[in-house]
Amino acid sequence: MSQEPIFRDVVIIGSGLAGLTAAHTMRQQGIEPLVLERESDLGASWDRRHPQLTLNTHRSLSALPGLSYPAGTGAFPKRSAVIAHLQAFQDRHQFEIRHDAAVSSISRADGRFNVETTVGTILASAVIVATGRDAVPVVPQWKGLETFTGRVLHAADFGDARAYQGRSVLVVGGGNSGFDVLNHLSRIETGPVWLALRNSTSVLPKRMCGFAVHRLSPLMASLPTRFADRLIGWTQRVAFGDLTRHGFPPGRFDAATRLARNQIAIAVDDGAVAAVKRGRIAVVGGVTEFGGATVTLSDGTTLAPDIVIVAVGYVSALTSLLGSLGVVDETGRPHLRGGLGETAVPGLWLVGMQPSLTSYFQQAQREAKHAARSIARMQRA
Ligand SMILES: Cc1cc2nc3c(=O)[nH]c(=O)nc-3n(C[C@H](O)[C@H](O)[C@H](O)COP(=O)(O)OP(=O)(O)OC[C@H]3O[C@@H](n4cnc5c(N)ncnc54)[C@H](O)[C@@H]3O)c2cc1C
């Protein structure tokens, strides 16, 4: 790319599932976008995740537009199947993706966006940011953390579950990534495992009597939120009984409301709850501080795990990209108009930043369609 700024109608940042979906919907509107991707290959974000990862969402709801997974793919595709799916989509559509092009900032002047990248400046009438919501792992700055003599890692760095054989592990956080870690730990011979929870958690089984529960998600998503809360709460109770008997904090049964308001995704159980019931995993209170070999919990008791896995989530990296445009708060959470990725800056769209009851794939399609139609209207005007 030359050092002179080049002009493109539409620039998409990121070639993950959200960026590829956005490229597809733009082409359907007759506009060829330029996709900027900082990595050399497609699927790098999935490649960095742990090797035993399978999706929590059913394959029928986890596909890019118009492309199915090949015959023989399991109900919940493996990490490698997702990467192959992204590649197959790009092979079919041949979008213009510029790899090794990292965007450092986006600003606006004279009615156009200035996209600063490692390969030069690009001017664009519209920008779709699809850089991922799970971009930066969060590790709270607990008191004494730096003095802890055990190992502390984020769930993003979980790695191979077999490495935890014989080790005592404290998992902090019972959301999606906490349960993912516990599901895998429940299948190997670890030492004691604890789950530290500050609040109640919403959790659904991956399968019930062999049925993939996630297939009910379109029904749940079609209901008014308070009915979806009840259906999810009812499914949780039928699947697991009263979890407070096993140390979980009392449930609030407002999973759909929390997802819509606070973007807290519902955890998926694939063996962890049974391990809690068997006494292999103990549910304990939230972590308050660290010191030497011990971790102190909210009730004052202490534990001395070999390893602490922090599973309290991620934040986006939007602040550094979009800081000057006033569309992101200090925690990296975007201010969006409505539920479909629209920002207050005309021509700037975010795709893939919001979880949904169905899947990120489905939500990205809804957002990308809305963005592409609006951008096409804007360009025709
Ligand atoms: C462990 C885990 C399991 C998950 N399981 C599921 C599941 O079962 N079902 C589901 O629907 N969702 C799941 N998700 C959530 C979501 O689908 C994934 O996070 C998915 O990767 C999001 O896709 P994306 O395209 O929005 O972001 P990403 O996959 O992160 O893609 C963003 C792309 O943007 C690029 N990029 C970022 N910054 C820049 C920049 N400054 N310049 C240029 N390029 C940039 C990145 O290199 C990357 O290629 C899971 C997430 C995690 C962490």
Is there an atom of ligand 1 within 6 Å of 116 CB? no
pLDDT in tens, 235-254: 999 999 999 999 999 877 89
| Residues found in the chain | 381
Give distance in angstroms: CA of 17 to centre of ligand 1.
7
Over residues 23-31, mean pLDDT: 98
153-181: b or e for each residue (b if 16 or more CB lie within 10 Å)? ebbbebeebeebeebbbbbbbbbbbbbbb
pLDDT at 347 over 90: yes
pLDDT for position 339:
78
Q: What is the pLDDT of residues 292-339, one digit of tens each?
A: 999 999 999 999 999 999 999 998 889 989 988 989 988 888 888 887
Residue of the CA atom closest to atom 30 of ligand 1: 132
- Please compute the mean of the pLDDT values over residues 354-366 and round it to a whole number: 95
Query: Which residue, chain included where needed, has tokens 């990467």?
Result: 83
**Which pLDDT value is given to residue 316?**
87
Residues 6+ apart with CB under 8 A from 125: 9, 10, 111, 112, 113, 347, 375, 378, 379
375 lines ligand 1 (CB under 6 A): no
Q: Where are the beta strands (DSSP E) in 233-353?
A: 267-269, 281-284, 287-291, 294-297, 302-303, 307-310, 314-315, 348-350
Confidence of residue 365 (pLDDT cuts 50, 70, 90): very high
| Sign of the four-CA dihedral 287, 288, 289, 295 | negative
47: nearest Cα among 81, 70, 77, 80: 80
Q: Residue 280 corresponds to which amino acid?
A: R
Average pLDDT of the residues in 199-226: 94
Q: What is the pLDDT of residue 242?
A: 93
Q: Is the pLDDT of residue 380 over 90?
A: no
Instruction: Compute the average pLDDT of residues 116-131.
Output: 97
Confidence of residue 281 (pLDDT cuts 50, 70, 90): very high
- pLDDT, residue 371, reads 97
For 167-316, where are the alpha helices, taking DSSP H only?
A: 176-185, 217-222, 225-240, 255-262, 272-277
CB atoms within 10 A of CB 307: 18
Measure 129 CA to ligand 1 centroid, in angstroms: 12
Average pLDDT over residues 47-65: 96
Structure tokens at 288: 């308050």
Instruction: Domains for the chain: give ranges and CATH numbers.
Output: 6-135+316-380 (3.50.50.60), 137-310 (3.50.50.60)
Q: What is the pLDDT of residue 3?
A: 67
Tell me the pLDDT of the chain averaged across its residues.
94
Tokens standing for 223? Answer: 């209901």
- pLDDT tens for 172-205 read 999 999 999 999 999 999 999 999 999 889 999 9
The alpha helices in 252-310, defined as continuous H runs, are 255-262, 272-277
The distance between the two most distant Cα atoms of the chain, rounded to a whole number of Å, is 66
Helix (H) and strand (E) counts in the chain: 10, 21
3-state secondary structure of 239: helix
Atom of ligand 1 nearest to the CA of 101: 43
Residue with tokens 């519209």: 126
77: Cβ–Cβ under 8 A, 6 or more apart, which residues?
Answer: 54, 55, 59, 62, 69, 85
Work out the pLDDT band at 5, boundaries 50, 70, 90. Answer: confident
Calculate mean pLDDT across residues 43-69. 96
Ligand 1 pocket check for 18: Cβ under 6 Å: yes
Atom of ligand 1 nearest to the CA of 42: 49
Rounded CA-CA distance 205/199 in Å is: 19
Q: 0.85 exceeded by the pTM?
A: yes
Half-sphere exposure of 356 (CA within 13 A, CB side): 25
Number of C-beta neighbours around residue 205 at 10 A: 21
For the segment 225-235, the average pLDDT, to the nearest whole number, is: 94
pLDDT more than 90, % of the chain: 86
What pLDDT is stored for residue 200 in this prediction?
Answer: 87
pLDDT for 4 beyond 70:
yes
> Is 77 exposed, middle or buried, given 0-12, 13-18 or 19+ CB atoms closer than 10 A?
buried
Q: Is 79 in the pocket of ligand 1 (CB under 6 A)?
A: no
**314-315 and 136-137 beta bridge pairing:** antiparallel
